[in-house]
Amino acid sequence: MLTFYFAPHTCSLASHIALEDAGAAYELRRISFKTTEQQSPEYLKVNPKARVPALVTPRGVLTETPAMLAFIAQSFPDARLAPLDDPFAFAGIQSFNSYLCSTVHVAHAHRMRGYRWTDDPAAIIALQKKVPQSVTACFEMIEHNMLRGPWVMGDSYTIADAYLFTLSQWLEGDGADLSRLPRVLEHRARMTERPNVKKAIAVELAE
C-alpha cells in the first residue's frame, strides 16, 4: 500500500492524477498549509523538506514530483504511462519533467515565495514583477519546442501530461500572456475532460 501526502493547489496534483491513471492502491493524507502542518514534527519525519508531495512506499519515502512520476510509471507498467522499453524516450520524459520542476515551478514560486532567494523587500518585489514575463517565457518554450502533439510526447498520454496540466493551471494567477500559448491551453482543456483528472481535483478540493 502506498500513502500519498498532498495539499490542494500544489504540484502534488500531478502525482495524484498519475496514481489514479495507474490504478494504484493508495491512501491519501491531506496536509493543511493553513495550519502549517507541513512544518509539524509528525510530517517532518515523513519529509524533512517540509513540502508536499511525499509518497510513502514499502521501501521508503519518495519526494520530488519527477521521481514520484517515474516510480509510478515503472511500478505499474500495464498502465503504459511512459515508454519503459525505450531508454531514450523515457529520458525525454524525464527531461521534460525536470524542466517543469527546476525552471517552470521556480519561476512561478517567485510570485509568492521570494523569501527563499532574498531577504531584501525590494528584491522580493522585483521578483514578483518579473513573474508574468518569466512564466510566459517558460511556457512559450513548451509551446514551440517541447509540446510534440496532442500530448506532451506526441500521440501517447504519459506522466508528463499530468505534470504539465498541474502547472498550467497557475497561468492566470501568474499573469502569463495566454494569447501566446494556444497549444498549452488546448492541452489543459483536453486534460480537464479526463475522468481521472476530474476525480483527483474533486478529491483534493473537497473539505
Helices 87-99 and 159-168, packing angle to 10 deg: 10
Tens of pLDDT along the chain (207 residues) come to: 999 999 999 999 999 999 999 999 999 999 999 999 999 999 999 999 999 999 999 999 999 999 999 999 999 999 999 999 999 999 999 999 999 999 999 999 999 999 999 999 999 999 999 999 999 999 999 999 999 999 999 999 999 999 999 999 999 999 999 999 999 999 999 999 999 999 999 999 986
Same domain for 188 and 126?
Answer: yes
Domain count, the chain: 2
Is the pTM above the cut of 0.85?
Answer: yes
Those residues whose C-beta lies under 8 Å from the C-beta of residue 122, and which sit 6 or more positions away, are none
Q: Which domain holds residue 129?
A: 87-194
Those residues whose C-beta lies under 8 Å from the C-beta of residue 31, and which sit 6 or more positions away, are 5, 6, 7, 37, 38, 43, 52
Q: Nearest 5°: CA angle at 80, between 47 and 13?
A: 35
Same domain for 101 and 187?
Answer: yes
> So what's the pLDDT on residue 207?
63
Task: Write the CATH number for 135.
Answer: 1.20.1050.10
> So what's the pLDDT on residue 206?
87
Same domain for 119 and 142?
Answer: yes
Same domain for 60 and 6?
Answer: yes
Same domain for 8 and 31?
Answer: yes
What's the length of the chain? Answer: 207
Same domain for 73 and 92?
Answer: no
Task: Write the CATH number for 74.
Answer: 3.40.30.10
- Residue 4 contacts residue 201 (beta carbons within 8 Å): no
